[in-house]
Amino acid sequence: MKNHYETTERYCLIATEDYEEDMVGFIETIQGAPSWALPGFFKKSLKIFVEEAFQRGDTAPAWLYIKRAQQLFTGHFQLSLSNGKEFMMDIDDGTIPVTGEYKNCFTNANYWLKAFYLAIIMRNMKAVGILSQVSEDIFKADEQGSNNFDNQLAALFKAIFNPAANFAEQLVITTASFIPDEFTKPRFGYVSRLFWPQLAIIQAIFTPGSEDKFNELMKEALKLHKEHWKQKSKSKAAEGVISLPLTALAVLAHDHAGYKLTVKNGYILDWLVTAENAPSNNPAQADSAQTTEPTDIPSHVLKALKEGDGSEIESLREQNHTQYLPALIALYEAEEDWDLRGGIVTLLVDRIDNTEDILSPLMNDALNSPDHQIRGLALVWLYNDLTVYDQILSDYGIDEQKVDGLVKKYLAAQSQ
């Protein structure tokens, strides 16, 4: 299936030069005005990725552009979650502190799905975890609003990565929310061609032995994708050169079920699906002119954790670590030093003074993380018991099945 789009090497060269000029000082621009800079630079990065990938294929710049697009749009939704509070945002191979007021634009479910597709394509579980925290209230607060079907499709993608969610039930809810009469004619054309086909494909991915069905559905979805975008002007048609939704689903099928996409087409790039040359998602540890330390943990706390100073960690336990809790969780995820991880757990346990403790909602949210290590850390705190740490350990680190078992036990106890 040939792509509807045409371009030239000369156009790609000019577009690259324009992009590089536009991105001069982009870190400082983001930190100065994140509410408009993040979505703006996201659009520029995704556009140049399409040109680079379409014209030149699997190149280092192509991976840089899509990685940057994913980081920028995830950062945009981090801003909506933080709203005036500083957060650490991954960018390129480092992290930067960002603070800014949340503006209710480019945050409905339709935009969120683009960010989530990119997180799946980049296999960035940290980004998946961040985006999974974005609520339907944020979608609805967008200046353009957010359609119920879009909201339910977003909930379905969250459920895929949430072991505590009822995936089958959400699939039924999402299917039932597709009500043609609720859409304007242009919106129905968009949703029916680009969103609706995803439901059957998702079901096939998570139904064992459905590889043939998966490919059949992908072929039909690709036809609908081409039908939609080939009718657009050249400037708008560029958005459909690479199908982010179908590429994300091909990645899910590849990683979850081992399904191989057999439909030859110009909209899903094999090298994105196999990701043999994909860059790392881990931010660099070293300082640079445009990056900071990967955490915002106070130096004396970080020193005690890295040196395994038990007495100092014990003395720090009475302090409130809420301000840099996300940084502690990020450090816990990034490190492979189990003594350091144990120190972080020790630091956070016994912080429950009452049911209104400020850490409680954060730790409950952490139970929805796709990373079992983060869920394990949250469990130790929620049970307020260091022995839970021993319960979830195996000879090879934290045992995912033990974590899932304790999560279910904890949630069942809370519902009683």
Taking only the tens place, the pLDDT of each residue in 19-77 is: 999 999 999 999 999 999 999 999 999 999 999 999 999 999 999 999 999 999 999 99
Q: At residue 331, what are phi and psi to the nearest 5 degrees? A: -65, -40
Lowest mean pLDDT among 10-24, 113-127, 179-193, 336-350: 336-350
pTM of this structure: 0.70
Model pLDDT for residues 357-385, shown as the tens digit of each residue: 556 776 777 787 777 777 888 888 788 77
CB atoms within 10 A of CB 59: 14
Long-range own/partner contacts, residues 14-19 (CB < 8 A, 24 or more apart): 15/47, 15/48, 15/51, 16/48, 16/51, 16/52, 16/61, 19/44, 19/45, 19/47, 19/48
Domain positions in the chain: 9-274, 299-415
Model pLDDT for residues 140-151, shown as the tens digit of each residue: 999 999 999 999
pLDDT at 293 over 50: no
- Could you tell me the two tokens for 159? 């459920």
Q: How confident is the model at residue 411 (pLDDT cuts 50, 70, 90)?
A: confident
Q: At residue 88, what are phi and psi to the nearest 5 degrees? A: -100, 125
Query: Between β-strands 87-91 and 397-398, what pairing exists: parallel, antiparallel or unpaired?
Result: unpaired
Vertex 16 angle, CA 14 and 17, to 5°: 65
